[in-house]
DNA sequence: ACTATATTTCGAAACATGTCGAATAATAGT
DNA sequence: ACTATTATTCGACATGTTTCGAAATATAGT
């Protein structure tokens, strides 16, 4: 079976990694915060808000900065979010397309 | 935000557990097999097929029966699948509604 | 009762994860 | 250069997960 025929399709391994990234309550909260504040492909901080996404995403989580950094890196390695340095800060946003792909997986679509 | 806080934490917890259940490649394969063979709410084995779902779900996974049993229990504890004994076998099927709920989560719909 | 098949429970070993604090790097503004 | 802010890396420790094999349980058919 050529289950990799379509490039955009998430195979078993990549899917499992995405779910693993979301399996930690703190990481899931970070992801949800990004879902709330960022439309896919758009950087979280607008022009007038110069705060860093990384720092902001720790609000209400009660974890050390090193732990926050680690979680965000995990989300990035799993392909769920993107990050880019912007001065002192590092902006984060949800990978464009990943929400659609994961949503379709649970619909049982043969072409996620 | 005060009563939402508790509600969100519970939702967050339950969601994280669902994703954790799907974070293991073998468990994900089991779940996908159930997605393929079972429509939600319908027992996998039809009248003429008297095979057990639990035993069948181990096909092609190369894991010990005890490991398979453990994984299926995890999927059940996470609320992703249902199981019921039927004679010697234990039938498994996907929890009706869970696919819709998870699909909607990634669409950002405000839905329990 | 005995046997065969299907599934679960238990104990254990190897490995992975979440978390922290301390140290380090990157950048901006004095 | 110095300092402040932000974010990352590192080492460490406690806890959790994956997996197995052996033993136990459940059920059906003889």
Determine the distance between B51 (CA) and D30 (C1') in angstroms. Answer: 21
Tell me whether residue B42 is in a domain. yes
pLDDT at A29: 96
Tell me whether residue A37 is in a domain. yes
Tell me whether residue B112 is in a domain. no
Tell me whether residue A67 is in a domain. yes
CATH number at residue B51: 1.10.10.10
pLDDT at A58: 92
What is the mean pLDDT of the segment spanning B42-55? 52
pLDDT band at B6 (very low <50, low <70, confident <90, very high): low
Instruction: Give, in order, the Cα–Cα distances in Å from B71 to each of A78, A97, A98, B78, B85.
Output: 22, 30, 26, 11, 17
Residue from the list B19, B25, B106 with its beta carbon closest to the beta carbon of A13: B25
What is the mean pLDDT of the segment spanning B89-110? 89
pLDDT band at A110 (very low <50, low <70, confident <90, very high): low
Tell me whether residue B111 is in a domain. no
Tell me whether residue B110 is in a domain. no
Range of the domain at B91: 2-105
Strand partners, A89: A86
Domain count, chain B: 1
pLDDT band at A37 (very low <50, low <70, confident <90, very high): confident
Residue from the list A22, A35, A100 with its beta carbon closest to the beta carbon of B19: A22
pLDDT band at A22 (very low <50, low <70, confident <90, very high): very high
Tell me whether residue B13 is in a domain. yes
Tell me whether residue A68 is in a domain. yes
């Amino acid at each position: 079976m050529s289950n990799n025929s379509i490039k955009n399709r998430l195979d078993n391994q990549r899917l499992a990694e995405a779910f693993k990234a979301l399996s930690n309550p703190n990481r899931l909260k970070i992801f949800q915060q990004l879902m709330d504040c960022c439309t896919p492909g758009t950087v979280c901080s607008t022009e007038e808000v110069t705060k860093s996404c990384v720092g902001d995403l720790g609000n209400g989580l009660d974890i050390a900065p090193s732990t926050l950094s680690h979680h965000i890196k995990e989300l990035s390695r799993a392909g769920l979010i993107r990050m880019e340095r912007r001065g002192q800060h590092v902006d984060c946003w949800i990978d464009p397309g990943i929400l659609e792909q994961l949503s379709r997986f649970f619909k049982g679509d043969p072409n996620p």
